[in-house]
Amino acid sequence: MLLTLKDIYDAEVAKTSAGEDFDLLNSIVVDPGHLLTIQLVSVENRTNAYTTLQTGITSGGNFQALLDEDAPAAEGVYYFRWRILVTAGHMLTSKLIGCTAGDYIRMHMQGYLYELGV
């Protein structure tokens, strides 16, 4: 199988927490015939500390955590330098558990988007 570099992936997702049980920050959903490789992920809550940070893959509404951080500090930026392969139909997700309503939360991702060929 041949991989052809289609684009450099450098994206940020940010929002204000609604104060529910957890908040999700998601990458793009990878299109069929493509592969997204994430080289670096950073996640932060600029406002308050929270209970747990989980980063992993979501597919069809099912979340599979790959990385966990317990009791992240307020204004702490948590970096993950680990190659994560995101295949077609899936997306990278950070799940922030225990945020307070009004918290500003953010995820930044860097990697490469490849096109798969035969």
Reference 99, options 38, 1, 8, 19; nearest CA is 19
Q: What domains sit in the chain, N to C, each tagged with a CATH number?
A: 2-117 (2.60.120.1330)
pLDDT of 118 above 70: no
For position 59, what pLDDT does the model report? Answer: 95
Give the CA distances from residue 44 to residues 2, 50, 91, 117, 118, in Å, rounded to whole numbers and listed in that order. Answer: 36, 10, 19, 36, 39
- What's the token pair of residue 71? 């009791």
For position 82, what pLDDT does the model report? Answer: 84
pLDDT digits (tens, 9 = 90+) for 21-62: 999 999 999 999 999 999 999 999 988 888 999 999 999 889
Question: Residues near 62 by Cβ (< 8 Å), separated by ≥ 6?
Answer: none
pLDDT digits (tens, 9 = 90+) for 67-87: 999 988 888 899 998 899 999
**Residue whose tokens read 């190659």:** 83
For position 39, what pLDDT does the model report? Answer: 96
pTM across the whole model: 0.91
